Structure 1
Amino acid sequence: MEAGKNIALKVPLHRWEETVAFYRDKVGLPVASELKNSTGFEFGGLTLWIDRVAHQSQVDVWIELFDDDPDAALSRLGSPNRDELEPLTEVTGHWTSDPAGTVILLRKERMG
């Protein structure tokens, strides 16, 4: 298992624009990608995603871990399967969480 390449801040609607502006204008991080409800910033060797989430009341931090066998890794961790959190499209893996509740995308890294 190894660290992934993405960190996401799940931000309430009323804080999203000012949070994106903070990282872009004050911190000075280069924008890597802009989607309808998400802005990705270059963050060292990672991408920091600021995601706009309608049903959030506070900020959550979500991280990513890579493993060649996400099913076996989920079992080894003894962590809950939380695949109901968000659809996983074009990704082999699972949503789970650590004992403190930090959401983890445990997935197979795409090659190429």
Structure 2
Amino acid sequence: MIEPGRNIAIKVPAHQWQETVEFYRDRVGLPIARTVQDSVGFTFGALTLWIDRVSHQSRSDVWLEFFSDDPDAALDQLQGPTRDELEPLDGVTGHWTSDPSGVVLLVRQPRKDERWA
């Protein structure tokens, strides 16, 4: 079974990052939930919307997270390519893949505190 995760990330080129953070904070009015190096997470309903600064990127991308108790089976179900080279999955059991249009998807096992119900 595949279900929505709790994170959405917008990967933003470094030269647009500050202005993009200010847009979501000041114009949209989203509260900041968490800040880590090169990333600001905003409360987005029950989700966290991450604005990530990516120095080697020339355009913005949206990345989505999905939960599955069996990420390998979920990857087979999605029939997407394995793209684990995109970003390290330190301490996470899962895989990076993408949909047919190229949207990056993280399919991973949720921690017990991350389940919706």
Q: TM-score, normalised by structure 1?
A: 0.98
SS at structure 2 position matched to 1:99: coil
Write the deviation string for residues 28-71 of structure 1: whole angstroms up to 9, x where unpaired.
Answer: 10000011100000000000000000011000000001111000
Write the deviation string for residues 5-26 of structure 1: whole angstroms up to 9, x where unpaired.
Answer: 0000000000000000010111
Q: Mapping of 1:84-99 within 5 angstroms? A: 84-99=85-100
- What stretches of structure 2 of length at least 5 have no aligned partner? none
Structure 1 match to 2:22: 21
Structure 2 match to 1:39: 40
Between the aligned partners of 1:108 and 1:66, the Cα distance in structure 2 is 6
Aligned-CA RMSD value: 0.6
Structure 1 match to 2:75: 74
Query: Which 4+ stretches in 1 moved above 4 angstroms?
Result: none
- What stretches of structure 1 of length at least 5 have no aligned partner? none
Structure 2 match to 1:110: 111
Between the aligned partners of 1:43 and 1:20, the Cα distance in structure 2 is 14
SS at structure 2 position matched to 1:42: strand
**Quick check: 5-14 or 72-81, which moved more?**
72-81
Write the deviation string for residues 75-105 of structure 1: whole angstroms up to 9, x where unpaired.
Answer: 1211100000000011110000000000000
